[in-house]
Amino acid sequence: MWQSLSSSNPSSHSPRGALSGIRVVDLSRVLGGPFCTQILGDHGAEVLKLEPPSGDETRHWGPPFESGLASYFVGVNRNKTGLTLDLSHAEGRQFLRSLLVDADVIIENFKTGTLEKWGLGYETLKEEFPRLIHCRVSGFGADGPLGGMPGYDACAQAMCGLMSVNGEKEAPPTRVGLPVVDMVTGLNATIAILMALQERHQSHLGQFLDITLFDCAISLLHPHAANYFGSGNIPQRSGNAHPNIAPYETVSTAKGELFLAIGNDRQFKQLAIELGEPSLSQDPRFLTNADRLANRPALHACLKRLLNQSEANTLAIKLLKAGVPAAPVLNVEEILQHPHTEHRGMVLDKDGYRGIASPVKLSRTPAQLRQLPPGFKALSET
């Protein structure tokens, strides 16, 4: 009913991580849950990834593939030991219970009611394992008007308002170009687990963590929700321009696009100086942020004229050194090969594995690559 998945261990003698000693049983698939457990594993938790006989579907979400594994899967499943387990059989469920005896956390994203049908719901497990923290990642939660329905990142972006404020003003609503809802759901699941582990020091009890894509998507609506609460006006798409600040948008240069993020009048004055036209900050149309917002098209035209002989990368560094928030618009290859990316160690390249490294930098207990993403062998029928 269960079978080991191959998993190399390149760093068996790595320093202890901040979560060393924490044991996580990971029943989740796709992105939100696996992203959460990779964070935990990066920082020392022992993560056992349990997959159904068919495997995590993202193993096949390619090309590209790396040694038979989809790069999508590789990107969020390091630092885990793999097993296949068929929970539809009594033997599989009993084996899971044997793993939970020593586990601190179980995380899953089964359709609501599935684990309950198998006698593995929270209300049952808490009687057997009172210290166990049970984290469920779902689309909408178990109850309410949409309770029990499946959830998907793009659908959450559409339903929860993200697409309505993303894109150009005259263009249709646009999906954010990365699975932001799945990933922030994984981050919130991680935060919830760490909170529950901390609380358990006092209560000595586990608890149920109810993390939904629906809630997490809505939580991302700043400042649009705040603007709506304050004004009653429905937020609209504004492209790269900020609804509350100007200039806060991309401007074309002779080579590349430059993003300006001017947050106050002092920064705007300094921008005008650095662009060789200090009088711009004294123009009555641009004196304050409110003035600049009201006259955004005219301001954009002025900036485009002043930047038409510049190069985005060079000018961005000049502006940053002068205290003016600015950045070139880079593609994925450009940022992954950027010298500061290398300096910060944000590309993990070790033992044949390449991926985005942990952004959480701890001085004594840093994140480590301990295990490569587990391979997979399908179970034979039993």
Q: What is the CATH number of the domain that holds 314?
A: 3.30.1540.10
List the catalytic residues: 182
Q: What are the structure tokens assigned to 346, written together?
A: 């944000």
Q: What is the pLDDT of residues 247-260, one digit of tens each?
A: 999 999 999 999 99
Residue 203's CATH number: 3.40.50.10540
Residue 263 and residue 167 in one domain:
no
Q: Which residues of 242-274 are buried (b: 16+ CB within 10 A; e: fewer)?
A: bbebbbbbbbbbeebbbbbebeeeebbbbbbeb
Distance from C-alpha of 372 to C-alpha of 68, rounded to nearest angstrom? 14
Residue 296 and residue 187 in one domain:
no
List own/partner pairs for 282-290 with CB under 8 A and 24 or more apart: 289/245, 289/246, 289/264, 289/265
Sign of CA pseudo-dihedral 161, 109, 192, 69? negative
- SS3 call for 193: helix
Closest CA to 139 of 26, 33, 24: 33
Q: What is the pLDDT of residues 135-184, one digit of tens each?
A: 999 999 999 999 999 999 999 999 999 999 999 999 999 999 999 999 99
Q: What is the pLDDT of residues 334-377, one digit of tens each?
A: 999 999 999 999 999 998 899 999 999 999 999 999 999 998 76
Q: Which residues of 311-337 are buried (b: 16+ CB within 10 A; e: fewer)?
A: ebbebbeebeeeebbbbbebeeeeeee
Tell me the pTM: 0.91
pLDDT given for residue 258 in this prediction? 96
pLDDT given for residue 376 in this prediction? 76
Residue 32 resides in a domain:
yes
- In this prediction, residue 10 has a pLDDT band, given cuts at 50, 70 and 90, of low
Residue 268 and residue 200 in one domain:
no
- In this prediction, residue 382 has a pLDDT band, given cuts at 50, 70 and 90, of very low
Alpha helices per DSSP H over the chain: 32-42, 71-74, 90-100, 114-117, 122-128, 153-159, 180-203, 213-219, 224-231, 265-274, 289-294, 296-307, 312-321, 332-336, 339-343
- SS3 call for 209: strand
Residue 48 and residue 133 in one domain:
yes
Distance from C-alpha of 222 to C-alpha of 110, rounded to nearest angstrom? 30
Structural domain total, the chain: 2
pLDDT given for residue 377 in this prediction? 61
Name the region of 77 (left: φ>0; alpha: ψ -120 to 50; beta: rest): alpha
pLDDT given for residue 379 in this prediction? 39
Residue 341 resides in a domain:
no
Distance from C-alpha of 128 to C-alpha of 103, rounded to nearest angstrom? 12
Q: Which residue has the higher pLDDT, 4 or 136?
A: 136
Sign of CA pseudo-dihedral 89, 92, 94, 97? negative
Q: What is the pLDDT of residues 43-79, one digit of tens each?
A: 999 999 999 999 999 999 999 999 889 999 999 999 9
Domain extent for 299? 248-252+257-328
Q: What are the structure tokens assigned to 319, written together?
A: 């502006």
Residue 286 and residue 210 in one domain:
no
- SS3 call for 143: coil
Q: What is the pLDDT of residues 230-279, one digit of tens each?
A: 999 999 999 999 989 999 999 999 999 999 999 999 999 999 999 999 99
Sign of CA pseudo-dihedral 353, 357, 362, 367? negative
Residue 142 resides in a domain:
yes
Check whether 112 has a pLDDT greater than 90.
Answer: no
Residue 298 and residue 211 in one domain:
no
Residue 93 resides in a domain:
yes
Residue 107 resides in a domain:
yes
Residue 172 and residue 261 in one domain:
no
Distance from C-alpha of 241 to C-alpha of 296, rounded to nearest angstrom? 9
Residue 344 resides in a domain:
no
Check whether 295 has a pLDDT greater than 60.
Answer: yes
